[in-house]
A and B are shown apart, each in its own frame.
Chain A
Amino acid sequence: EAGVTQFPSHSVIEKGQTVTLRCDPISGHDNLYWYRRVMGKEIKFLLHFVKESKQDESGMPNNRFLAERTGGTYSTLKVQPAELEDSGVYFCASSQSSSSYNEQFFGPGTRLTVL
C-alpha cells in the first residue's frame, strides 16, 4: 500500500510569488490534514479535511493560505503571495476515519524556502 505522498519535495521561491503544494493521501482515507514546521519550532496543525469539506481550519495562519480538496482525493495548499515567514516544512497526513483511535500517517513533507 502506497503511503502519503507530497509534491514537490523542495520548493524555493521569492517573496511575493505563489506556490502550490500537493498531497496525495493513502487511498481510501477520508481524513486529510496539513501541518507546518517552521525551523526550530514545533509542528503546527493547519487544517483538517473530511472528504472535500473543511472540518477544522483553526490553524491556518492568514488568508494568504488556501487549501482545497476537490473530489475528496488529493489536496492542494496554495500560498499567495508568499512571505519570508512562510518558510518551513509542510507535512500532510491522512487517516481512515475520524475516530479517535485512528492513526494519522504522515507524508515526507515539502520543504518551502521563501527568499
Chain B
Amino acid sequence: AQSVSQHNHHVILSEAASLELGCNYSYGGTVNLFWYVQYPGQHLQLLLKYFSGDPLVKGIKGFEAEFIKSKFSFNLRKPSVQWSDTAEYFCAVRVSGGYQKVTFGTGTKLQVIP
C-alpha cells in the first residue's frame, strides 16, 4: 500500500521568506501527486497536482512543486511567503489507474509572521 511522509509538522516563517515543504511517498508504480491546502476555517482545496509530463508543476498563489521520481519526492515551494499563506498543507498520492482513494500525509502547519 502507498504511504506519504511529510517531514515538517509545524513551520514558522517570516513574510518574504522562502518556503520548501518536504514530501516523500512510497509506492513502486505510477502515481498521481497532489498538494492540498486548508486555510483557517475553510475547506481543503487543491493547490496543485502532477499526473505526467513536466515534473515541475505550478499551482495557485505562486506555489510550485517538483516531482523527482528517483527520490520518490514531491516537495512544495514558494519563493516568498505572505501572511495569507498561513494554513495547513497536505501532500497526497493516488495510484494511477487504480482505485480513486487519495492517501494523505499528516500535514504541515505553516505559520507566517508579518
Q: Which of A's residues lie within 8 Å of B, judged by CB?
A: 3-4, 31, 33, 35, 40-45, 48, 55-56, 58-59, 91, 95, 98, 100-101, 103-104, 106-109
For the complex, give the distance between the alpha carbons of A112 and B98 in Å. 30
B27 CB to closest chain A CB (Å) equals: 14
B69 at the interface (CB under 8 A from A): no
Q: Which residues from B are CB-within-8-Å of A41?
A: 106
What is the predominant secondary structure among interface residues of chain A facing chain B?
loop
CB nearest neighbor in B for A106:
B44
B103 at the interface (CB under 8 A from A): yes
For the complex, give the distance between the alpha carbons of A62 and B4 in Å. 23
Total number of B residues with any Cβ neighbor in A under 8 Å: 23
Top 4 nearest A-B pairs (CB, nearest first) are A45-B101, A106-B44, A43-B104, A56-B99
Decide: A45 near B51, CB < 8 A? Known: A100-B94, A106-B43, A106-B45.
Answer: no
Of B97, B101, B103, B107, the residue contacting A48 (CB under 8 A) is B101
Q: Which residues from B are CB-within-8-Å of A107?
A: 43
B113 at the interface (CB under 8 A from A): no
CB nearest neighbor in B for A31:
B100
B51 A43 Cβ-Cβ under 8 A: no
B107 A101 Cβ-Cβ under 8 A: no
B91 CB to closest chain A CB (Å) equals: 10
B102 A104 Cβ-Cβ under 8 A: yes
B32 at the interface (CB under 8 A from A): yes
Interface pairs (26), CB distance under 8 Å: A33-B101, A35-B102, A40-B106, A42-B4, A42-B103, A42-B104, A42-B105, A42-B106, A43-B44, A43-B90, A43-B104, A44-B104, A45-B103, A55-B100, A58-B99, A58-B101, A95-B100, A98-B100, A100-B32, A100-B94, A100-B97, A104-B100, A106-B36, A106-B45, A108-B43, A109-B43
